[in-house]
Structure formats: C-alpha cells, structure tokens
Structure 1
C-alpha cells in the first residue's frame, strides 16, 4: 500500500526502477499536498472572530477538502493497480495472427483502463482548484501564500495526470475514442489551468 509508506519510503520507491508509482501516482500525491495546504488555511480561519461571517462556508470547505484528499490518496493506489495489467499486456506474444489479435484487443482494453485513473485525478484536481479559489476569497489573509502554493500543486496534479492520459491514448487503435478522451482532457486543462493561474496571480498581487 503506497499511501501507508512514510514520505521518505514513497520517494525512495518513486526514485527506484520499480514501475509504480509513476507520474500518475506522483501527480495524485502532489494534489493531496496541495489540498492539505488548503485545509490548513481553512483550519487557521475556523473559529476566528474576524471571519465570523464565513464560518459556515469554511466548515463546508474543510469537509470538501477532506473528501478530495481521501479521493486523491486512493487514486495514488489505483493508478498503480491499473498499470499492472497494461504492463503485462505489453509482454504478450504476437507471433501469429491469433496472438496478435488477442494482444491488440487486450492492449486496447488495458489502455482504456489505464486512462481512467489519471482522468479521475484530473477531475478531482479541478474540484481542488475551485475550492482553493474560494479559500483565496474567504480564508485568513495571514496564510494566503499557502493558498497560492496549494493551487499551484493542484494545477501540477492536473497537468501531470493529463500526460498519463495522452501517453495511453496515443497508442489506442480506436482513434475516435482516443480523440474524445483527449478533447475532454484538453478542455479541463484549458479551463482549470486558467482558473488556477488566476488564483495564483491574485495571491501574488496581494503579497507584493
């Protein structure tokens, strides 16, 4: 269980020649850290008289942030799980037409499965970015820089996971399906990337 390892263990495994965790799991892990920073800002805001008017919102944000963190932690594990069948499919024999047909079918199924987790990482990172945007408005100003760092990490999770989609869709034989997936990914990158940049710029402007 990757998420049961401490940070040092995780980094050691990530740096090794082991096939997992890879870029997808690392992206989810970075997203967890980004969202945890958001939770910290919310906790620092909670109970502060200066922010009485947003206490209900902050409690709601904390609950959502906790759900996002748990989801991303689960996705670190799931990304490793879906890569295993794909790695095995690469090694299937293709010495004759029957073997080639089976391998192509198996590869296609495994590539689609391998895309599913990084897409979910991206979707969850989008939720995290939206939450960071609200924290930039309502969170304590003494920790505003942490919102900026957090949203950058969440954007990194978004962008990193996208690469793990594209590397798999590129190999798909079903190009219609692949291009549909790519279009959805590009849409998330465009809209949520800009959103994250806007939050970061707002934080930066307030600090300088």
Structure 2
C-alpha cells in the first residue's frame, strides 16, 4: 500500500481551495463530503455551546452536553475522512492494474467510508431536531444551516458510494450498501425537511 499521507487539516483554507480547484485528482468530491459533514457538525456544536450555561435552557443542559460530547467525536471522525478519502483514492489508482483484487478492497473501503458519512449526516440531522426544540433560539438559523449542509453531505456521500460501486464486482456487497443508503435517505428527507420548515417558520415569526 502507498505510504503517502494527506495533511489537509493543517492547510489554510485558501490552500485547500486552490488545490481543490486545480487539475489534480485529490482533494476531490470525496474529501469535500468530509468537509461538509465536519462543517455541519461544527455548526451544530456552536449552537449547543451557546445553549449550555443559559438559565432559560437549564432543564435541557445535561441532554445538550451529552449531544455535544457525541457530536464532537463524530466531527473528529469526519475530519479524518477529509484526508482518508484521498488516501484510499490514491491506492485505488495504484492497484487498479497492478493488483486488481487489492483495488477491489480499496473500492469497498471507499464505499464504506461514504456509507458512514451518510450515517453521520443522519445523526447530525437528528441532533438538529433536538436543537430546534431545545437549543438557543438566537441561533436557530444556524440549526437550519447545519441541517441543510448535512442533507447535502448525505447526497454527496451517496454519489461517491455509487461511483465506487460502478467498479465493485461483489454484487452482494453493492446490494447491501444500496439498501442501507435507501433506509437512511428516507429519514434524511423526512427529518431534514422538517428541520428546515420549522426553522423557517420560527424565523418568519420574528
């Protein structure tokens, strides 16, 4: 396997954007799915942190603290995927001709990575549902933005998984991944739409 490591997290934003826009395969759309997921997660944490410690929301404090802890772990994983996707892609490109069976392994690894990003986006949307009801009202717009970014993250992950499965020979594996995405998508659509609609109603009432 290749030893090359990608250190996007140590880059300045401008450097990442410049490399993303350049004529190089990495970083690409897979890495971006990790970025959007991490952004959605980080924005969710901001709302939670502005909720904890406020007398108005004291009855929800322990629940929000637990949410923040779980979401913090989730965000770190998504940040790791920003770089991990490029590492996997690098290995797919190397072994496609050199060792096709190993390339298949990395294609599956990539599909699984994006399935996990999809699952993570749903978790974020579920937490956004909690914050619509129990989060700091002054940051309700941030709850909505976190949710719509999470929705975009889900569909980015789906696209990335599908392009990998186009080349995966294991039909049973592909069926399993498709089934899981289908189940996740139903809830993403339902809960994501509800968060957006509720946030817009709350903003319009002001």
Question: Which residue of the partner structure matches residue 35 of structure 1?
Answer: 41
Q: How many residues align?
A: 198
**Per-residue deviation, 1:86:** 0.8
**Per-residue deviation, 1:108:** 2.4
Q: Which runs of 4+ in 1 moved over 6 A?
A: none
Question: Which residue of the partner structure matches residue 133 of structure 1?
Answer: 129
Deviations 1:54-87 (A, max 9, x none): 1111211221221121111011111111111111
Question: How far, CA to CA, are the matches of 1:184 and 1:176 in structure 2?
Answer: 13
Question: How far, CA to CA, are the matches of 2:139 and 2:106 in structure 1?
Answer: 43
**Per-residue deviation, 1:176:** 2.6
Q: Give the TM-score of the pair, scaled to structure 1.
A: 0.89
Match of 2:31 among 10, 25, 45: 25
Structure 1 residue runs without a partner (length 5+): 94-101
Question: Which residue of the partner structure matches residue 186 of structure 1?
Answer: 182
Contact 2:43 2:146 in 1 (8 A): yes
Taking the TM superposition and a 5 Å limit, the aligned residue runs for 1:55-204 are 55-90=61-96, 92=97, 103=100, 105-204=101-200
Match of 2:9 among 3, 8, 16: 3
**SS in structure 2 of the partner of residue 18 of structure 1:** coil
Calculate the aligned-residue CA RMSD, in Å: 1.5
Contact 2:122 2:187 in 1 (8 A): no
Match of 1:54 among 52, 60, 67: 60
